[in-house]
C-alpha cells in the first residue's frame, strides 16, 4: 500500500486563514474620509482550523486510497535565501495565520510531521517521490512540486489527480527558469512570458529528437542564450536555476544535503 506523501506547509495556511475573521471598526469613517488608517482586528478559531486540517487529510487518504500519511513541513532555514537574497521577498508584507504556531505544532504532535531543515518541505517530498516512486503518492498544491516531478500526483487544493511524464517535468523546470514564479518572488528572464517561453522550448525540441536524462538537458544552453540576449549574465541564470530547481537534495547514509544545480 502506498503512502500519501503530503507537502503540509499549505495545510497550515489554508486552514488557518479560512477560519479568521477580520473586523474594521472605523469602516464608516474611512468611507466618509474622517479616518485614514483602518482600525482592524483579526480573530481566529483554532478548533475549526484543526478540524479543517483533519478533514483535508482524511479526504487525501480517501481519494488516494492510502491508509498511511507522511507529512513534511518547512523549518526556519532555506538554502535559497543564500542563492537569491530577495527570494520570496514579495511575501514579507504578508503575514502568517494567527494560529500558525499552534497549527504547526498540531501537525507535529498529531500526525508526526517531519521538519525539513536547510531546505523546504517541497524539496523533500519531491526527493522522496522521485527516489521511491512506487512507495508514495505525492500530495501537494504548488505547481513546481507537482509539475517538476514525474508520476501521478494528487492536488488536494483542486481535488484532482495529474500525471506528469519525465519529459514534462524537465520542460516545466526550464519553463519556470524563463518565466519566473511570482508566488516565490523570482522574476526569471525579463521580457519572457508564458507564450514566448513555450515557443522557445518548442524550438529547442524541434531541433532535437530526444530529451536527455536528468535535469541538465537539451534546454539549458538555449535558455542561457536567451538570458544573455536579454542583458542578463550567467550568475543571473544559475541563481534562477537554483531557486527554481526542485531536484537538489542528495542523501548519503541517511544524511541529506543540498547539491546546488550546475550547468
- Domains along the chain with CATH numbers: 3-20+43-164 (3.40.50.1010), 166-258 (1.10.150)
Query: In terms of DSSP H, where are the helices of 180-219?
Result: 194-207
Decide: residue 192, CB within 10 A, 0-12 exposed, 13-18 middle, 19+ buried: buried
Per-residue pLDDT tens digits of the chain, which is 263 residues long: 799 999 999 999 999 999 998 888 878 887 878 888 888 888 899 999 999 999 999 999 999 999 999 999 999 888 998 998 777 655 544 689 999 999 999 999 999 999 999 999 999 999 999 999 999 999 999 999 999 999 999 999 999 999 999 999 999 999 999 999 888 778 899 999 999 999 999 988 887 755 554 444 689 999 999 999 999 999 999 999 999 999 999 999 889 999 999 98
The DSSP bridge partners found for residue 12 are: none
Q: pTM to 2 decimals? A: 0.89
Amino acid at each position: 500500500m502506498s503512502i500519501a506523501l503530503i507537502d503540509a506547509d499549505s495545510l497550515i495556511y489554508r486552514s488557518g486563514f479560512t477560519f479568521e475573521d477580520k473586523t474594521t471598526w472605523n469602516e464608516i469613517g474611512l468611507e466618509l474620509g474622517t479616518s485614514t488608517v483602518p482600525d482592524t482586528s483579526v480573530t481566529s478559531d483554532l478548533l475549526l482550523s484543526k478540524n479543517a486540517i483533519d478533514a483535508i487529510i482524511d479526504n487525501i487518504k480517501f481519494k488516494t486510497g492510502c491508509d498511511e500519511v507522511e507529512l513534511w513541513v518547512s523549518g526556519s532555514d532555506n538554502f535559497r535565501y543564500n542563492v537569491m537574497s530577495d527570494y520570496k521577498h514579495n511575501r514579507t508584507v504578508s503575514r502568517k495565520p494567527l494560529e500558525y504556531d499552534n497549527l504547526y505544532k498540531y501537525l507535529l504532535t498529531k500526525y508526526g510531521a517531519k521538519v525539513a531543515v536547510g531546505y523546504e518541505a517541497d524539496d523533500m517530498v519531491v526527493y522522496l517521490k522521485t527516489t521511491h516512486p512506487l512507495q508514495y503518492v505525492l500530495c501537494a498544491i504548488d505547481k513546481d512540486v507537482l509539475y517538476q516531478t514525474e508520476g501521478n500526483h494528487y492536488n488536494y487544493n483542486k481535488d484532482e489527480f495529474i500525471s506528469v511524464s519525465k519529459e514534462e517535468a524537465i520542460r516545466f523546470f526550464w519553463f519556470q527558469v524563463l518565466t519566473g514564479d511570482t508566488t516565490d518572488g523570482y522574476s526569471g528572464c525579463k521580457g519572457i512570458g508564458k507564450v514566448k517561453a513555450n515557443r522557445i522550448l518548442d524550438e529547442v525540441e524541434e531541433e532535437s529528437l530526444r530529451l536527455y536524462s536528468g535535469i541538465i538537458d537539451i534546454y539549458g544552453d538555449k535558455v542561457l542564450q536567451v538570458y544573455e540576449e536579454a542583458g542578463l549574465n550567467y550568475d543571473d541564470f544559475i541563481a534562477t536555476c537554483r531557486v527554481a530547481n526542485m531536484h537538489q537534495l542528495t542523501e548519503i547514509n541517511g544524511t541529506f544535503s543540498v547539491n546546488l544545480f550546475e550547468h
